[in-house]
Amino acid sequence: MKPTCITSWTISCGADAERSYRESIFSIGNGYMGTRGFRPDERGQHAAWRSTFLAGFYEYIRTGITDLVNQPDFSAMVLRLNGEDTGCMRVVDFAQSLDMRNGLLEWQFALESSDGLKTQIKMEKFISMASRHVAALRLSVIPDNWSGSLHLETGIDASVQNLPIADNQLQGNSEFVQMWDVPEIYPIDGGALLTAKTLPSRRSVSMAYALNADESIELIEEDFSVSSVLVTTLECGMCWQVEKVVAVASYRDGDSEAIARSELECIRYESFDQLLGRSEKAWSKLWETSDVVLEGNETWQGAARYNIFQLLQAVPKDDPHASIGARGLTHGRYKGCYFWDAEIFMLPMFTMTQPKMARDLLLYRYNTLPDALESAKSFSAKGARYSWMASDTGFEQCETWDTGCCEIHITADVAFAFGEYAASTGDDHFLSRYGAEVYIQTARYWVDRFNYSAKEDRYHILFVKGPDEYCGVTSNDFYTVSMAQQNLHLAIDAVSEMKQHWPDEWEDLSSRIAFNDDEIDVWQDIANKSVLLFDEERNLWIQDETFEYMEPLDIEKEKDGDKPLYFKIAYDRLQRYQVLKQPAVLMYMALRPDDFSKDEIEAAWDYYEPKTLHDSTLSFGIHALVASRLGKISDAIRYLEKSLFLDLFDVMENTAHEGVHMASLGATWQALIFGFGGLSHNGKHFSVVNRLPEQLYTMRYRFFFKGEQYEAEIRQGTDPVVRMIV
Ligand code: BGC
């Protein structure tokens, strides 16, 4: 458990919290850029740890494989007080805190020099939610018991590197990749502009900065960095301050240099407080619709907001060519790739509270449909095959054979997410413009991916890995088959809706994709005759063909707290025990609860939950959701707390070295709103029931349904009150 203090709107830590853990949980961003919470003047970690990322900015590290590029560091700072480097001074009374109302990150501490000089320091930093290209920093220094010189160097440092991490969670890496060529540097009023280009493909980033200071500034250019040097004399007890404004643009925006220059021009004379004020306004607009108010437990309240905060600052805004990676912009783990995490775990919060953002996330998938079509061909399949791991390219980024080739449910997950978005928003054009094409092309993939057995007149999915990645490579995985069936139904329904409501668009689409009416019969046949394993006697849906042949494992004996068991038992061996890494049958039941009787879900819970290791952070929130729907209150609370505090308390001991777990944040939101908050819908109507646990006396949240906004208020012992916001 980490020594983190959580209030309803703030998160803070002292020096007793490990540095890399703080750097992860204090990651800040605005969906366009994100940076880890490292102290600007602190050195000592390698250049791949001082990470700043831009959404969608990837580069090739070998043929066909990309990595999310670690961007130049715009907060780098060297500070000397009376000639001594602050990085070497003793730090006392250290506190790092984050204000979730405006995204302001703050470090406050005192420094003691070798000869007893004491100085109070405050560093503040935020990435603007009002203007995607903008970040700002402020340094305040008060000498407690001395007067003397201050020397500050700060600018842009492109001497950063990438440390691509293998997909295999056990494999560390020590091979740094130099992404940046020697940058170009131009002095500008009060600062400088640096443009760097990646070595392989010449993808550019430009960062322009200016200091708002009274002192004169000298510019130092080095091979990979530029900094402004400012020297002044401090007086004992007097506060000295300097502010730095930064504008960032990349090749993804167009002419990065021109954009960075003009963005800086716009903010050059604005103060830190003015810029922060504008960012706070933008944040409050986001909070107005996405906040979840939990009265009765302040720690839960703050943690719930933290989960939402991290999602809101990870989602690209008005950018339909990027999505949210497994660690957002907080770490380069998984090469920054996009998984089903985005569509199945994170998307519901956006669909229900920020539908435009949800739409853009889905458009990323629509825009990579050509790659998915191409990708299917490379697997000798028809239609569109979405990749288990994707980046700015939709081509497969997963380099582990069994996962990359066999965890194919992602294709149906994408289609499912399109369907859920369309059903709850009532966004009419979505189907005709994007949805129908995605449903049909993905359905065509399933036609090819099922194997028909003429002997049985049944369709099987062979060589498949389900969401429980400890299932090995198996057959007829329940989750994958069920999701593929959904995908086929979405395609069937789309064709009839298109014919009925969008005849002109249908004519265009059907001829563009050479649609043939006979395809519908094939889809229907597969949906009807694909194999799902059910044991009548136990009223139990079986995960896959091999699950029941596995050896049992004494989980209690083997598992050490919440740390994943793959650290102790080889992945290969785990795949032959009858244990689950994360929910699979229950995962599908979490998504489609109305397709099952309560008894079926109970039976699945009783069978699978005790066998689940929760070795993926995606597991806890989904168990909390299912348990709360089943009325298993103590299980629901136990799982919710794991998910709610997953990163804040580093439950799985991997937040420090892997960043913030985006899917878990989304699962937490689903557990809160669809579970305890009782919200559900069937595509036509929504309903809200009261499942409030005794830890809370009120819960309030807003959501959109069919274009209207509502607020639900749930109090102990009364029926929920839902009102429309006009
Ligand atoms: C999980 C996957 C998940 C991936 C990225 C893996 O450990 O098993 O379900 O998509 O992490 O978060």
Q: How far is Cα 567 from Cα 336, in angstroms, rounded to an integer?
A: 22
Nearest atom in ligand 1 to the alpha carbon of residue 615 is 7
Residue 322 within a domain: no
Residue 134 within a domain: yes
Where residue 653 falls (left for φ over 0; alpha for ψ -120 to 50; beta otherwise) is left
Residue 209 within a domain: yes
Closest Cα to atom 8 of ligand 1: 616
| CA 325 to centroid of ligand 1, rounded, Å | 11
| CA 708 to centroid of ligand 1, rounded, Å | 34
User: Which positions ≥6 away from 380 have C-beta within 8 Å?
Assistant: none
- How many structural domains is the chain composed of? 1
CB atoms within 10 A of CB 332: 24
Q: Would you state the pLDDT for residue 169?
A: 65
Residue 432 within a domain: no
Closest Cα to atom 9 of ligand 1: 467
Q: Would you state the pLDDT for residue 1?
A: 58
Closest Cα to atom 1 of ligand 1: 616
Residue 48 within a domain: yes
Assigned token pair, 689: 């029931």
Q: Would you state the pLDDT for residue 451?
A: 98
CATH number at residue 215: 2.70.98.40
pTM above 0.95? yes
Q: Would you state the pLDDT for residue 88?
A: 85
Report DSSP state, residue 24: H
Residue 188 within a domain: yes
- The owner of tokens 């007149």 is 457
Residue 711 within a domain: no
The range of the structural domain enclosing residue 229 comes to: 5-288
Based on its alpha-carbon atoms, the radius of gyration of the chain, rounded to whole angstroms, reads 26
Residue of 341, 529, 340, 509 lying closest to 441 (CA atoms)? 509
| CA 343 to centroid of ligand 1, rounded, Å | 13
| CA 618 to centroid of ligand 1, rounded, Å | 7
Residue 698 within a domain: no
Assigned token pair, 512: 């563009």
Assigned token pair, 231: 């020297």
- The owner of tokens 């492109």 is 158
Q: Would you state the pLDDT for residue 565?
A: 95
Closest Cα to atom 7 of ligand 1: 616
Nearest atom in ligand 1 to the alpha carbon of residue 341 is 10
| CA 467 to centroid of ligand 1, rounded, Å | 8
Q: Would you state the pLDDT for residue 666?
A: 98
Residue of 134, 193, 189 lying closest to 158 (CA atoms)? 193
Per-residue pLDDT tens over the stretch 235-290: 999 999 999 999 999 999 999 999 999 999 999 999 999 999 999 999 999 999 99
| CA 203 to centroid of ligand 1, rounded, Å | 29
Angle of CA points 384, 388, 392, to nearest 5° = 80
- The owner of tokens 């440092």 is 157
CB atoms within 10 A of CB 379: 14
- All residue ranges of the chain with pLDDT < 70 are 1-2, 169-172
Q: How far is Cα 35 from Cα 37, in angstroms, rounded to an integer?
A: 6
- Does the C-beta of 333 come closer than 6 Å to ligand 1? no
Nearest atom in ligand 1 to the alpha carbon of residue 339 is 10
